[in-house]
Chain A
Amino acid sequence: MTAEPLALRIDGVSKAYPNRGLALAPTTIEVRRGEFVSLVGPSGCGKSTLLGMAAGLLAPDSGTVEAMGQRVGGPGRERAIVFQDAALMPWLNVRHNVEYGLRAQRVPKAERRTRVAEALEMVHLDRVADRHPHELSGGMRQRVAIARALVLRPEILLMDEPFSALDAQTRTVLQDELQRIWLETRPAVVFVTHNLMEAAFLSDTVYLLSAGPGRIVRRYEVTVPRPREESDPRLVDIRQDMLDRLRSEVNAAAGRGDPDLAPADALAA
């Protein structure tokens, strides 16, 4: 434990859903200020559930979530979230979509205008500000969703598989953009994905989760300096290690081989 102040402290949270049993076993994650953390794992490993609880949109059955030192009991201004489907408001144009959160938080009009312009510029959308979401490609819609979160100047940015629905090229471009934006603005990020390379490429820390019930099986620290390239052999190695670990997890779950699981807290890279 460092003395550095934490952005997010998820302490022993668990969640069960009716008829589906335990989705997430008690889990502890700490995210430092400005740290980029990924949660990666197969479907049903509880990674989106974890994010939902960090966002204050889901209540944990046990444990607590603290954001910037405050107990989380709902959405808060220090946190912003980006979903897999951009979840834009179809009746608003790009500019008004980005402005929405500022209106909700009663930011004065003049300040709203400058902050919206700034956010749009950051994601290179200033030229389509007057278009409606259905006139945009999937990648552009996701850029709007990112701008909509950034405009709130969050200290914690929560991203729930934001690039999963995009084609491979668009995905690569947006990963690079996200790395650049994160280097410029430095919020703490919790990034949920099932793409191992994406997690290794973007993160300072990657938590590998396994399903049935969801739990952390390994923690990786990625110290490769930024800006990074996806082809970096060190990132490729980490990805391979994660893949091997996931395979043995799947085999264990299928009843073959040894589960080889240590308690999550004891797993440091």
Chain B
Amino acid sequence: MTTNTADGGAPGAAGASRAARGARRVAMLAVRKLWFIALILVVWWLVTALGLVPAYKLPSPGDVLGALENAIRERELLGALWDTLLRLVTGWAIGVACAVALGLLTGAVPFLEDGIRPVLAGLQAVPTIAFLPLAILWFGFNATAVLVITAFGTFKPMALATYGAIHQVPPTLKMAGRAMGARGLFYQRTLVLPAIVPSLVTGLKLSWSFAWRSLMAAEIIVSGTTGLGGVLELGREINAIDIVMAVILIILVVGILFEQLVFARLERWVNRRWGLVGAR
């Protein structure tokens, strides 16, 4: 009986200490990942609390939080956020679709790729926003011009990523497909397109960040369009620096959420389905 009690007690104790060790590890991880953010917040708060910088140049963390809360309660910021996200997703999707279609079409014909690829690479040297005046002249000082710029900002890196991905498809896979009789559109749709998906994910992430940049710049310049860029510009005009910083925070949070919720999941799914992890 005594041995039984001892045996029964030991695993429980071991389990408890394992749980404690686990909790300590999580705490350590949190400290390692968060200490710098905490430091920024403290320094920021100190600088404002000691009055080292006037409040119209740098509001306190509390003021920014208040502005954020206010704006969210009054719904106008949420509306702007929605408009911006809708524009971002639409512009990005159009840019991605065009880029992948062009990449597949011209990637299949060396003559087309030889001519078109250098032009695309050259266009990379021109920041997308430099095309905004042109877009405004063509489409007007409106949301359409902003959308076109977003799609174009997506398109350039995505098209190059598609070429890169096509050239990474293993030659024997292509030969196997052709030897089995796959040709033309069937070959592109059932072999090349799925084969490039894993490398396209990187391009999707890259082009997403390019879409964001182009969209924000365009929204700020084409004031009068609804959206976060418009709110930023308005905040500058009326000297509402707390709103300006609140919007920057929102953009940051949206960026992190998309990275974690959308792209990280997409990457995991692709890696599993295409056997890139756990492969024997």
A positions within 8 Å CB-CB of B: 55-57, 74-75, 77, 79-81, 83-85, 87, 89-91, 100-101, 103-105, 132-137, 148, 152
Contact = CB atoms under 8 A, between A and B. Distances in A.
Contacts of B82: none
Contacts of B190: 100, 103-104
B135 interface: no
Contacts of A80: 179-180
Contacts of A90: 274-275
A83 B180 contact: no
Given A89-B195, A100-B190, A134-B280, A75 B275 contact: no
Contact of B180 (A100, A132, A135): A100
B173 A148 contact: no
Contact of B182 (A57, A77, A104, A136): A104
A74 B182 CA distance: 12
Interface of B: 170, 172-173, 175-183, 186-187, 190-191, 194-195, 197, 273-276, 278-280
A97 to B, nearest CB: 10
A105 B187 CA distance: 11
A55 B180 CA distance: 10
Contacts of A87: 170, 172-173, 175-176
Given A91-B197, A134-B278, A134-B280, A105 B179 contact: no
Contacts of B274: 90-91, 134
Given A91-B194, A91-B273, A134-B278, A104 B172 contact: no
Nearest to B274: A90
Interface SS of chain B: helix
Contacts of A103: 186, 190
B179 A55 contact: yes
Nearest to B172: A87
B181 A101 contact: yes
Q: Which 5 residue pairs across A and B have the least CB separation, nearest first?
A: A134-B275, A101-B180, A87-B172, A104-B182, A104-B181
Contacts of B178: 57, 74-75
B275 A133 contact: yes
12 contacts: A77-B181, A83-B175, A87-B170, A91-B194, A91-B197, A100-B182, A104-B177, A104-B183, A104-B186, A134-B276, A135-B275, A136-B280
Query: Among the interface residues A56, A77, A83, A152, which one has the most CB atoms of the partner chain B within 10 A?
Result: A83
A75 to B, nearest CB: 5
Nearest to B278: A134
Nearest to A158: B179
Given A91-B273, A134-B279, A152 B175 contact: no
Contact of B194 (A85, A89, A133, A136): A89
B93 to A, nearest CB: 22
A189 to B, nearest CB: 15
Nearest to A96: B190
Contact of A85 (B172, B180, B182, B276): B172
Nearest to B277: A134
Given A89-B194, A132-B275, A134-B278, A83 B172 contact: yes
Contacts of B176: 81, 83, 87, 148
A83 B274 CA distance: 20
